[in-house]
Chain A
């Protein structure tokens, strides 16, 4: 019953990865990865450190150029574009509007010395908002949505706890109503109690906003709570993929069975 909210029947994929590979010299960090992601769908990429999952996330979000293969993304006008064909300005615009990127370390995704309100408002200004009152109102709404006391709106995130920082980072990403969010170990550095709260929050936001998300995690519990579908990576390859509960309850590959059997019972 912890299954995440299901996807609507949007028939056109939002993002298509086709034969994605990345080599660092002779090391193949990512080999021949192909899949389609649909609007509102949450995909978890799981695997141990060094399995290539973070490299894959960087390839998918056009932060790294692939050695072979490519990624296409359906822009808001419905046209499917090859990310490699986008100019730098177009790519940056995507990142500021239609995409979010939640880093494991909130310090990488936030400006630690400016106020929480400004951290959220900045993304709105980047897309042309210029009315101070409206920006502040929207920032306030978002802080409430991620359960941050609005009395702290003028404080800088360096004064926030780890869990609050991560919630602020999420607010900053979602304020422009993106359709796709990349998350790299979003609960990674947090206490277990804080993790549960964050997961519950993310789960609700993803379903309310009909967000598509690609979540890299080594934590199978995170994958189970958040994702519809899972890809298991090992040695740069996708070794098993399917519906999340299918892969976790009925794992087929030896490595997936090892991962699943290594979870400590609650």
Chain B
């Protein structure tokens, strides 16, 4: 395959054992692909399963059926059947994920939260911090906040820290869950710019955005998630 992501026949149902075993079908027959340098936006109303699909691509949710083929270090690996160690390896070298909410370790300064993905990949801490600082500056996080843990920041600031953390690595695949939801116009524009830069570097992206204007600016293709609605 030439695609970075190729999903075929993927399905997900939650079984809620604490609620008497209620079955909650989320999606079925999910099938689409993403090429390098392309941003695919998932569309559909709340609850249609957009975030679940992103989590399936990240290996965070398990699939009941189907394949999630990822091009990882020159080989194709099916994340739906991969071992935990393989999933971690894919996350380290291939797939980045910008979640809706920041989940940081208590006590860790913002600059280190952002630098962490680079440090984990062997970049010297000083160099990683320089890059983290540059990104935080672009995203308008004032330097006096960098030494503080982000837990006390406003929602918009936390989201920008989250974006910096997600964008700092040069990973070939990036998953974006509402990256601009609580940002003002100036910061939304920065994120659109960052996404454009990633595209030019050949990064394959899957995004969820509710803002029509942003979607128009970043989407190369739109995949309608309602077509994957699971039969209830």
A residues sitting closer than 8 Å to B (CB atoms) are 1-3, 5-7, 9, 38, 41, 196-197, 199-200, 203, 207, 225, 228-229, 242-243, 245-246, 249-250, 252-254, 257-258, 261
B102 on interface, CB distance cutoff 8 Å? yes
Report if A246-B59 is in contact (Cβ < 8 Å); known contacts: A7-B85, A252-B15, A258-B18. Answer: yes
Q: Which residues of B contact A246 (CB under 8 A)?
A: 59-62, 84, 87
Mind listing 22 A-B residue pairs with CB under 8 Å? A1-B99, A1-B102, A1-B116, A2-B104, A5-B120, A6-B120, A7-B88, A9-B89, A38-B85, A41-B85, A196-B105, A197-B107, A200-B106, A200-B107, A200-B108, A243-B88, A245-B60, A246-B60, A246-B61, A246-B84, A250-B14, A257-B18
Contact size range, B: 20 to 34
Quick check: A225 and B84 within 8 Å, CB to CB? Answer: no
Q: Shortest 3 CB-CB distances between A and B: which pairs?
A: A254-B17, A196-B106, A243-B84
C-alpha gap A192/B18 in the complex (Å): 29
| Contact, CB under 8 Å: A1 / B108 | no
Contact A249 B18 (CB under 8 A): no
Nearest A-chain residue to B165, judged by Cβ: A1
Complex interface: chain A residues within 8 A of B162 (CB): 1
B61 near A249 with CB under 8 A, answer yes
Q: Which residues of B contact A203 (CB under 8 A)?
A: 105
CA distance in complex: A65, B227 (Å): 56
| Interface membership of chain B positions 7-23, coded 1 if the CB is closer than 8 angstroms to chain A and 0 otherwise | 00000001111100000
A252, B85: Cα distance in complex, Å: 20
A196 to B99, CA, bound (A): 23
User: Which residues of B (25-75) have their CB < 8 Å from a CB of A?
Assistant: 55, 59-62
The residue in chain A whose Cβ has the minimal distance to the Cβ of B93 is A6
Q: Please tell me if the beta carbons of B91 and A257 are within 8 angstroms of each other in the complex.
A: no
Q: A250 CB to closest chain B CB, in angstroms?
A: 5
Given contact pairs A250-B60, A254-B17, A242 touches B84 in the complex (Cβ within 8 A): yes
Q: Closest B-chain residue to A197, C-beta based?
A: B107
Interface residues of B in 155-171 (CB under 8 A from A): 162, 165
Inter-chain CA distance A250–B165, complex, in Å, is 24
Say yes or no for B92: interface residue by CB 8 A criterion: yes
Report the minimum CB–CB distance from A8 to chain B (whole Å): 9
Q: Does B113 contact A (CB under 8 A)?
A: yes
18 extra interface residue pairs, beta carbon distance < 8 Å, beyond A229-B84, A246-B60, A250-B61: A1-B102, A2-B104, A5-B120, A6-B88, A6-B91, A6-B92, A7-B88, A38-B85, A196-B106, A196-B107, A200-B107, A225-B105, A228-B88, A243-B59, A245-B60, A249-B55, A252-B15, A258-B17
Task: Determine whether the beta carbon of B103 is less than 8 Å from that of A253.
Answer: no
With a CB–CB cut-off of 8 A, which chain B residues contact A242?
Answer: 62, 84
B105 and A2 contact, CB distance less than 8 A: yes
Cβ of A200: which chain B residues have Cβ within 8 Å of it? 105-108
* Known contacts A250-B61, A252-B15, A253-B17; A243 and B120 CB within 8 A of each other: no
Contact A250-B88, Cβ < 8 Å, known A196-B106, A200-B106, A258-B18:
no
